[in-house]
Chains A and B, each alone.
Chain A
Amino acid sequence: MSSRTAKILLDQIALAFGERIILQGVSLTLYEHDLLCIVGTSGSGKTTLLRAIAGLLPLRTGRILLDGAAITRPTPRIAMIFQHFGLFPWKTVRANIAYGLSVQGRRDEDGAVTRLLDVMGLTEHAARYPYELSGGMQQRVGLARGLAVRPEVLLLDEPFSAVDAITRETLQGELIRLWEDPQRHRISAILVTHDLDEAILLGDRIVVLGGIPGHVRLHLEVPIPRPRAPRDLRFHPTYPQLRRQLWDALQDDRVPQGASDHGTQYAEKSK
């Protein structure tokens, strides 16, 4: 695994809002065509971390590198998918999908927008406005908008947490299909979630963030081979132990404030 090339490298980063330190000493690597899941309880700084990788937040210390060059502001090579979908209510479905290309002054040369409308099953809804769509369809538009710019790295911030359980499974299935399709442009992705099953289903590797300030608690590989299917996931022999490990790492946040040194030891072990 270490022979793989690093796409994004986080080197000992710290992030703060004013005096409040959110994340401290976080180092991570995202490889080429790698899907890294970050899990953590609410307030563990996982969304903040993703925003920093997108170049939306300044770092307090450390650096974030994309192919060896520091990320200091948003770049067209990275696209983000938002938990709240982030669609423009006054733009039609088609215009929303084309937004990224248009705002970056790029032409839709190979008909990416039309193809993505088709892939996402949105062709009939192309002229509709977001309020006319269900949550699941709105997130399909969000995904299509991110994919349309052909990013090298996709950042997904709890993309399926605002839709119902059944839609979530469908969307996860679609993401796996897109991911595993060898015909597609091969991208790397970081997905933030608080859903352990989602992390095991989608991730090549999983990182658990926790503690105050947040740091890496646990870092593990998911040994379940691809292609994966949502319905078979729970029957894989390694599933119970994986889930147990993740669960235990998350539980450390329940430890009272006085015992927080314990969390630091975990971070050191995981390096």
Chain B
Amino acid sequence: MTWGLRGTSLAIILALWEWYGRSTNPILFTYPTAIAYAAMDMLADGTLLSALGQSLCVLSAGFALGTLVGIGLGLLSGRSQVVAGLLDIPVTALYATPMVALVPILVLWFGFGTSAKIVVVLLFTVFPVLINTQRGVREVDPRLVEVAHAFCSTEYRLWTDLILPSALPFVMTGIRLAIGRALIAVIVAEFYTAISGLGYLIVSNAHAFQTARVFVPIVGLMALGVVTTGLLEMAEARISRWRQTSP
């Protein structure tokens, strides 16, 4: 049912795009089949795969680091009032700041290379994960904490039996929000530091008025977002079998 609806909506969008796109100036706009041909060309000459490789490298390293740091700090600040107090203002301030504004400073600190790009992705992803994890830990049912204490639980067992399983759905929500932000971060990083990867393909092809080729990395990014979100949802359903609301 859901898959049928998803397929239908995708087919309608592609059909309308194809129909309208063919009637426009190919420098200003394009259409799905033209993008598909351009993608095949770019696969054949190797530019697409090498660019995708560069971008995925930055994306996965930054995303993994951001998620780990976010979960770690989130768990600590959720359980300890001291850590929460220390992190409160810096986290709120940085979360509210448009991260793009920080990129020139990050370039000063980390240069134009891969490490700067990874830091950009890390900064984009860390806050949604941190804030959601912290909330998850705080939402632990105090009545269950009392049950654990009544049965003489150690602090370690309190974490494994209660805090981690109870915070997990919140952590997953944070990670899901972080995926979208990580994709933004990769492109921002590739535009504003040493240009590379999918960002390079977008800029160079736009300058050459190769509009169909500009859309290849964009559609690629969209597909990446859809696939990773889908995989995450599958993982979420697996670990949340105990929840009444799970699909």
Contact B243 A89 (CB under 8 A): yes
Report which of B146, B165, B242 forms a contact with A56, defined as CB distance below 8 A.
Answer: B146
Contact A80 B242 (CB under 8 A): no
Q: Which residue of B lies closest to A80 (CB)?
A: B150
Known contacts A99-B151, A103-B153, A103-B157: A129-B144 contact under CB 8 Å: no
Q: Chain A, 50-69, contact with B by CB distance < 8 Å: what is the 0/1 string? A: 01001010000000000000
- Separation of A149 and B109 alpha carbons in the complex (Å): 58
Q: Chain A, 69-89, contact with B by CB distance < 8 Å: what is the 0/1 string? A: 000001110011010101011
- Separation of A38 and B49 alpha carbons in the complex (Å): 74
Within the complex, what minimum Cβ distance (angstroms) separates A159 from chain B?
Answer: 13
Provide the residues of chain B in CB contact with A79, threshold 8 Å: 150-151
Report which of B144, B157, B161, B244 forms a contact with A86, defined as CB distance below 8 A.
Answer: B144
Most buried by B among A54, A91, A103: A103
Q: Give the size range of B's interface with the partner.
A: 20 to 34
> Does B57 lie at the interface of the complex (its beta carbon under 8 Å from any beta carbon of A)?
no
Number of A-B contacts (CB under 8 A): 53
Contact B242 A129 (CB under 8 A): yes
Contact A104 B162 (CB under 8 A): no
Provide the residues of chain B in CB contact with A89, threshold 8 Å: 242-243
> Does B76 lie at the interface of the complex (its beta carbon under 8 Å from any beta carbon of A)?
no
Within the complex, what minimum Cβ distance (angstroms) separates A262 from chain B?
Answer: 35
- Separation of A266 and B146 alpha carbons in the complex (Å): 34
Contact B152 A75 (CB under 8 A): yes
Contact A84 B143 (CB under 8 A): yes
Provide the residues of chain B in CB contact with A103, threshold 8 Å: 148, 151-154, 157, 161
Within 8 A of B (CB), among A73-121: 74-76, 79-80, 82, 84, 86, 88-91, 99-100, 103-104
Contact A86 B149 (CB under 8 A): no
Q: Which residue of A lies closest to B245 (CB)?
A: A131
Within 8 A of A (CB), among B125-182: 143-144, 146-154, 157, 161-162, 165-166
Known contacts A86-B144, A88-B165, A103-B161: A54-B243 contact under CB 8 Å: no
Q: Which residue of A lies closest to B239 (CB)?
A: A90
> Does B6 lie at the interface of the complex (its beta carbon under 8 Å from any beta carbon of A)?
no
Known contacts A86-B144, A88-B144, A129-B242: A74-B149 contact under CB 8 Å: yes
Q: Which residue of B lies closest to A149 (CB)?
A: B151
Q: Which residue of B lies closest to A51 (CB)?
A: B146
Provide the residues of chain A in CB contact with B207, threshold 8 Å: none
Report which of B151, B241, B242, B244 forms a contact with A104, defined as CB distance below 8 A.
Answer: B151
- Separation of A89 and B140 alpha carbons in the complex (Å): 12
Provide the residues of chain A in CB contact with B161, threshold 8 Å: 88, 91, 99, 103
Known contacts A82-B143, A88-B165, A103-B157: A74-B244 contact under CB 8 Å: no
Within the complex, what minimum Cβ distance (angstroms) separates A25 from chain B?
Answer: 26
Contact B242 A74 (CB under 8 A): no
- Separation of A130 and B144 alpha carbons in the complex (Å): 14
- Separation of A19 and B161 alpha carbons in the complex (Å): 34
- Separation of A80 and B143 alpha carbons in the complex (Å): 12
Within the complex, what minimum Cβ distance (angstroms) separates A242 from chain B?
Answer: 32
Q: Which residue of B lies closest to A95 (CB)?
A: B161
Provide the residues of chain A in CB contact with B144, threshold 8 Å: 86, 88
Contact A76 B241 (CB under 8 A): no
Report which of B151, B166, B244 forms a contact with A100, defined as CB distance below 8 A.
Answer: B151
Within 8 A of A (CB), among B55-107: none
Within the complex, what minimum Cβ distance (angstroms) separates A92 from chain B?
Answer: 8
Within the complex, what minimum Cβ distance (angstroms) separates A211 from chain B?
Answer: 26
- Separation of A104 and B157 alpha carbons in the complex (Å): 10
- Separation of A75 and B151 alpha carbons in the complex (Å): 7
Nearest 8 A-B pairs (CB), nearest first?
A: A86-B147, A90-B242, A129-B242, A90-B165, A131-B244, A80-B150, A100-B151, A103-B153
Residues of chain A having any CB pair with chain B under 8 Å: 51, 54, 56, 74-76, 79-80, 82, 84, 86, 88-91, 99-100, 103-104, 129-131, 149
Can you sample 16 A-B contacts with CB below 8 Å? A56-B149, A56-B150, A74-B149, A76-B151, A79-B151, A84-B143, A86-B146, A88-B165, A89-B243, A90-B165, A91-B161, A100-B151, A103-B151, A103-B152, A103-B154, A104-B152
14 extra A-B contacts, CB within 8 A, seeds A76-B152, A103-B161 = A54-B150, A74-B152, A86-B143, A86-B147, A88-B144, A88-B161, A89-B243, A90-B165, A90-B166, A99-B151, A99-B161, A129-B242, A131-B242, A131-B243
